[in-house]
Amino acid sequence: MKHLISGIPPLRLPWRSWWLLPVSVILFVLTLSMGVLAKRYGSPGPDLNVDVSLIPDRNPALTTLATIINDALSPAGNVVILALSCLILMFGLRRPLTALAFGSTVAVGWLSSEIGKITVARLRPPGSVTHALIRENGSDSFPSGHTAFAAALVWGAVLVLARTPTQRAVTAVVGGIFAIIVAGSRLYLGVHYPTDVAASLLISTAGILFWLPLWNNLIEPRLRRISRINRMSAHPSATHTGD
């Protein structure tokens, strides 16, 4: 009798403990509470003052950079970035399990921002005051989706793609700079408050904290037993004969 043995080594992603689930919920609650308080007491107020203080520093080069970030990390752009990354991992590098881990981690971190947008429903900064460089209206200011995607992308790279402590440290530093630049671009354009972008980092982290124990303990072990994933992998499945 033949038994299929998965030839795909486990990814051994960090954050396996089930205790992370209540930690994640607490972080969600704290972040949403921050949003409710910021909506009530910070608009207008200190939050708006920060946006206004950036107006004199605008210049053509920074405006071009901020506009490019705005377009590249739009919802459609995020889908394209994530889809291309997963396709390269799955078919180019033949790492389907890594593709699924990376794609799901980034998607959960990014889409967690929708919980804040729906729950808090904070109005965007008044464009007439911030001299907003792009038109974005509505009650979806908290948190910033652009910043949440950037943070989730960094987390995915650090936790899934980087495999050694040195790689994770370098990826975290470079990724942190990237996330800060994206966050700053939202303030520079005058379409988000500082608390919006800060909350994006927190809520995407909360979503990923909730997701990884589920992935590590429930989802990945089952995926590793799927024959199609084994056949697609650069680590071919092996078989052995038993009684």
For the stretch 62-88, pLDDT in tens is 999 999 999 999 999 999 999 999 999
Number of C-beta neighbours around residue 126 at 10 A: 14
Phi, psi of 241 (to 5 degrees): -100, 130
pLDDT over 60 at 237, yes or no: no
pLDDT for the residue numbered 136: 87
Flag whether 88 is in a domain. Answer: yes
pLDDT for the residue numbered 123: 93
Contacts of 207 (CB under 8 A, 6+ apart): 24, 28, 108, 109, 111, 112, 152
Structure confidence by residue, pLDDT tens digits, 95-115: 999 999 999 999 999 999 999
Residue 54: exposure state from Cβ atoms within 10 A (0-12, 13-18, ≥19): middle
Alpha-carbon gap, residue 234 to 230, rounded angstroms: 8
User: Which of 125-129, 133-137, 147-151 has maximum average pLDDT?
Assistant: 147-151
Flag whether 5 is in a domain. Answer: no
Residue 186: exposure state from Cβ atoms within 10 A (0-12, 13-18, ≥19): buried
Q: How many domains does the chain have?
A: 1
Flag whether 4 is in a domain. Answer: no
- Binning the chain into helix, strand and coil, the percentages to the nearest 5 are 70, 5, 25
Q: Mean pLDDT over all residues of the chain?
A: 91
Radius of gyration of the chain (CA): 21
Phi, psi of 3 (to 5 degrees): -120, 130
Taking alpha carbons only, the member of 227, 229, 222, 223 closest to residue 239 is: 227
The answer to whether the CB of 136 falls within 8 A of the CB of 70 is no
Flag whether 7 is in a domain. Answer: no
Place of tokens 């180019």: 92
pLDDT over 60 at 175, yes or no: yes
pTM beyond 0.85, yes or no: yes
**pLDDT over 70 percentage in the chain:** 92
Task: State the residue range of the domain holding 105.
Answer: 14-229
Flag whether 236 is in a domain. Answer: no
Residues 144-156 as b/e (b if ≥16 CB within 10 A, e otherwise) read bbbbbbbbbbbbb
Structure confidence by residue, pLDDT tens digits, 190-231: 999 999 999 999 999 999 999 999 999 999 999 998 888 888
Give ∠ CA 216-200-164 in degrees, rounded to 5: 40
Phi, psi of 2 (to 5 degrees): -100, 135
The rounded Cα 131 to chain-centroid distance in angstroms is 28
Flag whether 144 is in a domain. Answer: yes
Flag whether 176 is in a domain. Answer: yes
Alpha-carbon gap, residue 222 to 116, rounded angstroms: 31
pLDDT over 80 at 243, yes or no: no
HSE at residue 148, side-chain half, CA atoms within 13 A, is 31
According to DSSP, residue 131 is labeled T
Flag whether 195 is in a domain. Answer: yes
